[in-house]
Structure 1
Amino acid sequence: MLKYVLFSLLSLTLFSEWNLMLVLTMVTTFIWMNSMSNFNLGLIDFFQVDTLSFLMISLSMWVVILMLIMSFYIKNLNNFSSSFFCLSLFMLAFLILSFSTSNALLFYIMFEATLVPIFLLIMGWGYQPERVTASYFLLFYTLSASLPLLLSILFVENIFFSLDFIIFNIFEESSFFLFWGLILAFLVKLPVYLGHLWLPKAHVEAPVAGSMILAGVLLKLGGYGLIRIVPLIQESLKLFSPILVSIGLMGGVMASFICIRQTDCKSLVAYSSVAHMALVIVGLSMNSFLGWAGAIIIMVAHGLCSSGLFALVGMVYERMGTRNLVLLRSMIVSAPLLTMWWFLFSVSNMAAPPTPSLAGEIYIFISTLSWMGFSCLLVGALSFLAGVYNLYLFISTQHGNKLSSMSLMQDASMREHWVLLFHLVPFLLIMPLLINSYS
């Protein structure tokens, strides 16, 4: 695994930016081929790849490649393109190390290291002056919640004399403070409702590449961390799971209602991520096979679908200079091909068949039904509201009376069509792999 990371970093100095994307594609292919034949690619004791890590690493590399393709305007404008590509590549390296390490302390270090590139991307290439506030919100929300995680990891090391994730599967520790110390940082990263205020600000002010990597991969670090930590705190989870499920379901419903009253389409997509990640929290809190399977499927599917939606929003903002739903109407007349992509990603985001998100929601619905019958009604309400705000987004942007300003709207270029196609095709084709792996 380490040789792939070093090869990617070395390529930054040996190749031009145009060829860098080809190199990253090759690296993704190498990892895919090797991992399919052997899911234990441990180079040293700290690095190993299992099925979940393989999915997350593949998702990270794929989204980073697509975000670089979407950011050609930075190269064309000569807006510090070398620094941008360097930050993107370092973020990819930190993500690969986060998902491939088996040591909790190294995972924590890489978990925090990903903050540096995304902070600089938002601060340096954001759209509005408010990007400074958004960057600090992102930084301090995550750092404040991460301090208890560091102390808890050191406490666990003092008890078991090891921080390997395999040890967490063997031993259990029940403690109120240890439980909340270990999961708080991951809940904020997901993010859970009430700890989500950094997310809409960061998304709205971030460049299109920052939004794609933030929604596509960085939010999944929280779910991945919970999956690795939960075996250690199963006894405490049985006690506190009603609280987590309640916060997840009620927070998801509240976030869905907030989506419906948004006027900024980028803010709407950002709040929809809060609603979708609420289902991940619910599935993992159930601590059942179906709950975990549903959560993992939703994580991977949302990473591709949400990244595609942010790419679409970026295309509209690049042409029109606005993301206001009141000013974006009748796009179906000006850009019919883009309307097709808006429709496909909107119905995918609402978990319409045959998308993998539907399978994930069905798994979580069955899990909540066996856990407590009433809770499945809230899962159904989340699914219904997802349809409401996605249809609201689609109808508001594509239909209505044509404004004179929409004459500036142009259809997608071939490069943008390829980006959207490479979001949608893996999103649909990955369904059989996920269902076979977790059913």
Structure 2
Amino acid sequence: MLKFGLCCLGMMFLLKEWLLLISVVMVLTFFCLTFMMNFDLGVINLIQLDFLTYLLVSLSLWVTALMVMMSFYIKHSKNYFEVFTSLSLAMLFFLMVSFSTSNLLMFYIMFESTLIPIFLMVMGWGYQPERVSASFYLLFYTLTASLPLLMGILYINYQQFSTDFSSLVIPNSDYLLFWMLIIAFLVKLPVYMGHLWLPKAHVEAPVAGSMILAGVLLKLGGYGLIRFLPFVENSLSEFSVLLVSIGCVGGVMASIICMRQTDCKSLVAYSSIAHMALVVVGISLNSFISVAGAVIIMIAHGFCSSGLFSLVGMIYDRVSTRSIILIRGIISVGPSMTLWWFLFSISNMAAPPTPSLMGEIYIFMSSLNWVGVLAVFVGVLSFFAGAYNLYLFVSTQHGTDLSGCKLFTEVSVREHFVLINHMLPFLLFFVLLTNIYS
């Protein structure tokens, strides 16, 4: 931890003034949250602090700082950078309250409030005219699916006169309430068949919008499932086969779709759907090992997918296209960018030593204990993850020179700093896990 802090402090002297404040905030946040983690604070009034909250709040703070650093092209183009920064800070506030509140109604309000900043980001700073339809897909898909959640919370309040997690008691045979509580989180993840809003939003969103959407906002779905499913455990045992089947089949379908994409950003977006399918499987198996594996994949995916979207944005800034057919031969004009593509591609396919590998191993072990055939599907998902990541890397980095190679510039200091601060906590998370489970 001390080495990490000294490294970040040392890099400040190499950077411009506008990076200094962000660097200080990131370092202080890391140390403060690490200090907080040493205390078991439990539930304090409306605040619920545990290890899961610590991880997700840290991820939110970190990715938000990095997305602001990646968005300085908005400042240079004088495209309402102050408004964009205000929306980023508002989203950070909503995310932190969502991950730390112990009140069901407050969680729902903050859960839905995160839609407002990301909707305005896609609508206001998106790339193409289709951003209007994409932002409405994003809004109405998630809003419609979350209305049953609001009705379920109000019903719980009517029955128990309380909306606190600690006093939550749900009848064992109330299957309708079970689906009302989890359908919003399944669409938010998203699971296959409720996923159409995600590729559209990613393709049209600015690079910062894609970073926060894939890095943190999708984790609200997994966080909600982890918080709510213990209270409906008996109902979950009745529908676990269905949820696991949706996760496995949906993950395989999303992986196959990844192999057919011609847009880099769309491919990374569909890879998020495939990774979140493993999260659904891990949470639905409802064992300590499987849920731990799902949490590990969530956090690792937050750093890795955000880094991949940053790389896609860097290429788009240089050659004004994201087409895999037109982007090739980057290794000959930008070898340092190729190195970063290689590191994030192997991290996304769960190669050792990455925390994603540990998460997949945990879910594989749990699937063997549940039904042996399920382990085959988990193995197929892991295989496809390697396949489409290799396809993305080889198609973009190798081949003849890309058409705009004369205009291609190497990675700047700011971009290197953003990518390092994606990869460094990603690897430190693996070190943290090995210390915890050793």
TM-score of the superposed pair, with normalisation by structure 1: 0.93
Q: 2:10 maps to which residue?
A: none
- Letter matched to residue 83 of structure 1: V
Does the 8 A contact of 2:326 with 2:403 survive in 1? no
Does the 8 A contact of 1:70 with 1:311 survive in 2? yes
Distance 1:423 1:413, change over 3 A: same
Does the 8 A contact of 2:19 with 2:69 survive in 1? no
Distance across 2 between alignment mates of 1:23 and 1:85: 17
Distance 1:202 1:292, change over 3 A: same
Q: 2:36 maps to which residue?
A: 35
Distance across 2 between alignment mates of 1:300 and 1:154: 31
Q: Alignment length, in residue pairs? A: 422
Q: 2:6 maps to which residue?
A: none
Distance across 1 between alignment mates of 2:250 and 2:423: 28
Q: 1:92 maps to which residue?
A: 92
Q: 2:239 maps to which residue?
A: 240
Q: 1:384 maps to which residue?
A: 383
Instruction: Report the secondary structure of 1:394's partner residue.
Output: helix
- Letter matched to residue 173 of structure 2: S
Q: 1:416 maps to which residue?
A: 415
Q: 2:323 maps to which residue?
A: 324
Q: 2:226 maps to which residue?
A: 227
**Tell me, which stretches of 5 or more residues in structure 2 are unaligned?**
1-16
Q: How far has the Cα of 1:102 moved from its partner?
A: 0.5
Q: 1:428 maps to which residue?
A: 427
Distance across 1 between alignment mates of 2:28 and 2:134: 33
Q: 1:6 maps to which residue?
A: none
**Which deviations, in whole Å up to 9, do the C-alpha atoms of 1:203-249 show, x marking residues without a partner?**
00000000000000000000001111011110000000000000000
Instruction: Report the secondary structure of 1:48's partner residue.
Output: strand
Q: 2:167 maps to which residue?
A: 167
Does the 8 A contact of 1:17 with 1:85 survive in 2? no
Q: 1:7 maps to which residue?
A: none
Q: How far has the Cα of 1:197 moved from its partner?
A: 0.2
TM-score of the superposed pair, with normalisation by structure 2: 0.93
Instruction: Report the secondary structure of 1:326's partner residue.
Output: coil
- Letter matched to residue 358 of structure 1: L
Distance across 1 between alignment mates of 2:399 and 2:363: 37
Range 285-294 or range 152-161, more displaced: 152-161
Q: How far has the Cα of 1:171 moved from its partner?
A: 5.8
Matched, 1:292 2:300: no
**Which deviations, in whole Å up to 9, do the C-alpha atoms of 1:246-289 show, x marking residues without a partner?**
00000000000000000000000000000000000000000001
Distance across 1 between alignment mates of 2:48 and 2:366: 30
RMSD: 1.6
Instruction: Report the secondary structure of 2:48's partner residue.
Output: coil
**Which deviations, in whole Å up to 9, do the C-alpha atoms of 1:342-372 show, x marking residues without a partner?**
0000000000000000000000001111111
Instruction: Report the secondary structure of 1:234's partner residue.
Output: helix
Does the 8 A contact of 1:213 with 1:307 survive in 2? yes
Q: 1:55 maps to which residue?
A: 55
Distance 1:145 1:31, change over 3 A: farther
Distance across 2 between alignment mates of 1:33 and 1:302: 21
Distance across 1 between alignment mates of 2:20 and 2:411: 23
- Letter matched to residue 166 of structure 2: I
Q: 1:366 maps to which residue?
A: 365
Distance across 2 between alignment mates of 1:398 and 1:360: 28
Q: How far has the Cα of 1:437 moved from its partner?
A: 4.3
Q: How far has the Cα of 1:438 moved from its partner?
A: 6.2
Instruction: Report the secondary structure of 1:374's partner residue.
Output: helix
Query: For residues 85-164 of structure 1, what are the structure 2 equivalents within 5 Å?
Result: 85-164=85-164
Distance across 2 between alignment mates of 1:76 and 1:282: 44
Does the 8 A contact of 1:174 with 1:233 survive in 2? no
- Letter matched to residue 102 of structure 2: S
Q: How far has the Cα of 1:163 moved from its partner?
A: 1.7
**Tell me, which stretches of 5 or more residues in structure 1 are unaligned?**
1-15
Q: How far has the Cα of 1:30 moved from its partner?
A: 5.5
Distance across 2 between alignment mates of 1:341 and 1:134: 29
Range 225-234 or range 17-26, more displaced: 17-26
Q: 2:405 maps to which residue?
A: 406
Distance across 1 between alignment mates of 2:309 and 2:319: 15
